[in-house]
A and B are shown apart, each in its own frame.
Chain A
């Protein structure tokens, strides 16, 4: 019997919030095609496997082998391949992050499978995704029995947890093959940073933020909202904030529920990375710039005056002041 296979990837022992979205999308596919929902959970614990069952998986195969604490493409691919060859899933669902994108290419070739990345909707036989940097949507069709899909973060509703839901949990026996890529070390990003790809809200600063000091204000704004901090290329190239915060054609592609663009004009190369946001708030002195024209809510004014007032107002409403 075939199945839907969710690849649940821990990162350094931590579960990835996008896993719940994969389970949500996987459960819907499984119900529609009357197949079981299988999850393979890598770098984890039995307790985490139980949570996958409570969030909709019928069967969870997990391993916590010590070589899997950090991401090594060949080893992770070996586990998913061994599982897929045995279980013959019709769909393999992965997150659209560096791990998911690394694995997707290897899995597709080894399983002779069609591949679509950053999928935002699944309907019938089609996978919908953006191409031309968000200027067009594409409906992708497959001619292979297995499809490998990476899902765009925030595009699918996360599976809710039903404690007491039962399913099968099996620990995989994994003997790592020798690899030609070896993990050496990890240097963590500044503590307390929320990753752009996993954020429901993003506060982005552009050239209008004026300098590294201006980004302190933006960071405080993001912190007040529990949002991640983004930037335009103009701000990154000026050295005000590291590249990992860049959104756009040559940076990250994001699709949060709320994107707040402060002092960013909305050039096409920037819009390429964020036009999929559900709601855009623009704060800008120039009411006529493209970002203000595209925004769900456009606030006309000087960001240095507005943002401190907005922070105060939010704190007030939260009862913190």
Chain B
């Protein structure tokens, strides 16, 4: 008998249990979009990521440049797959680097598949661009989230995944890479990025309360 058959035969002895139709896992209470943005910002902050909101795609390059300058980082970026409306190639403020990351890490800019307000998470998918590998090799990862991509929480992600073909790999990223193996507090930049910065493109931005005010 093959190992497969032997194990499956052994498993067939199990008594099937029925899943009691419990109340579906209670969902977080959702607020309007301003509340959602505020929770997203708080979630990112708790995970040592940083956050900015801009009112339209044209403002993205400026926000990237401002972030890099504020952190004394070179203005050179390595672009991954970004939203079509965002034009980084012709942005005067930025230096458009090669498609490959430099050996010392560099700055990667990507879009995302979705973002989860509750968990402070951005969701990246594998695809035709080097995204999945680079998102773990870069020193700084800047993620652009379009307003429609911001979901309330994890439970809203699963239906989105079922709508399209499932990507080979999906990465739920919550802040920079970190480790607790060198004592408390955790250290950032264990293997992957030292910095994760999220830029939300939200046309209704002007009407929101200050997203940082949580």
Do chains A and B stick together as partners?
no
Interface residues of chain B, those whose CB is within 8 Å of chain A, are none
